[in-house]
């Protein structure tokens, strides 16, 4: 049976060419009708060079945004288009896919079938990089402790250990599970979303430009009784970082997003204090490494970290 109640959303900010293999995997001529979403939307989030509509594969619709609002804003635009568009009343579920994914054949049909007994719910799946390393798609809701541990440079070499994975919030039970596994939240690389329920809680918070918006949404949905699950039997390849424009910008967006999340759902002053203390520990560690002859710059690194901790989020694009 065709996926008549499913729409797919692929947000894009940049060139179309790298996204074409994903669009072909969703709706290309080789995809059986029974495995195609009823609608596939490419949401052009005000790309520097607008995506040319005549270059899209047949069956892929183009939705343009006038302003670059980030991942959450682009997905919200797609969700409303699926809800309000022609025949939109039949589309009640959206499959949101990052533009830098490689997906297995039949992903849309498989994740929809696996999720059906749990709906309405948020469902994600495993993600790996090109070398087969896990992206730990299932995680615990963030705490100050998770983020302080992640900030500590002395622990970086030990992050392959289970105790450190758990200390930064990775859900190892889900990671090693099978079937549909209830979790706190799943990565935004792949999200199966119930459209009405997501829009009922306000959709994605567009104050997050990039990062953490999917955590915020899933926490609000959880409070409304909508669970999150990992489909541990499906895996995608996620390149990651394709839209962040460099490590410095990525870290600024990430820390700013975490501060916003802490203001909304936690204790932002506690988070700032914890990361400040971790930066002082990093300064001591890096000073020892420099004394031992390593090519590090402890004071410069500490200044960069503290600037992120105390200024992040204040100059992000909106």
What integer is the mean pLDDT of 63-82?
A: 95
Mean pLDDT score of the chain? 92
Token pair listed for 141? 């809701």
Give a yes or no: residue 271 inside a domain. no
Query: In 10-48, which positions are buried (b, 16+ CB within 10 angstroms) versus exposed (e)?
Result: bbbbbebeebeebbebbbbeebeeebbbbbbbbbbbeee
What integer is the mean pLDDT of 84-96?
A: 80
Q: Which of 120-124, 208-212, 263-267 has the highest mean pLDDT?
A: 120-124
- Domain CATH for 224: 3.90.550.10
* 100 DSSP assignment: T
Q: What is the pLDDT of residue 89?
A: 57
Q: What is the pLDDT of residue 243?
A: 52
**Lowest-confidence region among 30-39, 177-186, 250-259, 309-318:** 309-318
Give a yes or no: residue 149 inside a domain. no
Whether the pLDDT of residue 73 is over 80: the answer is yes
> 30 in helix, strand or coil?
coil
pTM over 0.85: yes
* 230 DSSP assignment: E
d(CA 311, CA 59): 44
What integer is the mean pLDDT of 223-240?
A: 95
What integer is the mean pLDDT of 139-167?
A: 94
| Domain range enclosing 26 | 3-141+170-243
Give a yes or no: residue 160 inside a domain. no
d(CA 152, CA 208): 24
CB 117 within 8 Å of CB 30:
no
Give a yes or no: residue 190 inside a domain. yes
Determine phi and psi for 53, rounding to 5 degrees.
-60, -30
Token pair listed for 69? 């609002």
What integer is the mean pLDDT of 27-45?
A: 94
pLDDT band at 317 (very low <50, low <70, confident <90, very high): very low
Give a yes or no: residue 29 inside a domain. yes
**257-291 confidence digits (pLDDT tens):** 999 999 999 899 999 999 999 999 999 999 999 99
Burial of 189 per CB tally in 10 Å (0-12, 13-18, 19+): buried
What integer is the mean pLDDT of 85-99?
A: 83
Domains identified in the chain, total number: 1
Give a yes or no: residue 180 inside a domain. yes
pLDDT band at 93 (very low <50, low <70, confident <90, very high): very high
pLDDT band at 311 (very low <50, low <70, confident <90, very high): confident
Give a yes or no: residue 110 inside a domain. yes
Q: What is the pLDDT of residue 164?
A: 94
């Amino acid at each position: 049976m065709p996926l008549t109640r499913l729409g797919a959303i692929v947000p894009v900010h940049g060139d179309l060419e790298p996204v074409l293999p994903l669009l072909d995997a969703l709706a290309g001529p080789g995809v059986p009708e029974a495995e195609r979403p009823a609608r596939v939307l490419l949401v052009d989030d005000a790309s520097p060079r607008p995506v040319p509509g005549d270059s899209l594969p047949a069956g892929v619709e183009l939705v343009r945004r006038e302003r670059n609002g980030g991942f959450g804003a682009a997905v919200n635009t797609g969700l409303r288009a699926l809800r309000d568009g022609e025949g939109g009343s039949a589309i009640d579920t959206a499959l949101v896919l990052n533009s830098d994914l490689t997906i297995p054949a039949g992903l849309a049909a498989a994740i929809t079938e696996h999720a059906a007994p749990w709906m309405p719910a948020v469902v994600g799946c495993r993600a790996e990089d090109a070398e087969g390393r896990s992206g730990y798609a299932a995680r615990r809701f963030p705490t100050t402790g998770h983020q302080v541990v992640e900030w500590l440079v002395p622990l970086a070499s030990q992050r392959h250990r289970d105790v450190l994975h758990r200390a930064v919030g990775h859900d190892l039970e889900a990671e090693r599970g099978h079937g549909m596994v209830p979790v706190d939240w799943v990565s935004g690389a792949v999200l199966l979303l119930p459209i009405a329920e997501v829009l009922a809680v306000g959709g994605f918070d567009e104050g997050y430009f990039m990062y953490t918006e999917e955590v915020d949404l899933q926490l609000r949905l959880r409070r409304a009784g909508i669970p999150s699950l990992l489909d541990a039997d499906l895996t995608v390849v996620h390149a990651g970082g394709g839209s962040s424009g460099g490590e410095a910008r990525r870290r600024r967006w990430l820390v700013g997003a975490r501060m916003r999340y802490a203001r909304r759902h936690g204790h932002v002053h506690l988070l700032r204090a914890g990361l400040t203390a971790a930066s002082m520990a990093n300064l001591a560690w890096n000073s020892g490494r420099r004394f031992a002859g390593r090519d590090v710059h402890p004071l410069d690194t500490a200044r960069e970290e503290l600037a992120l901790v105390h200024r992040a989020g204040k100059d992000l694009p909106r």
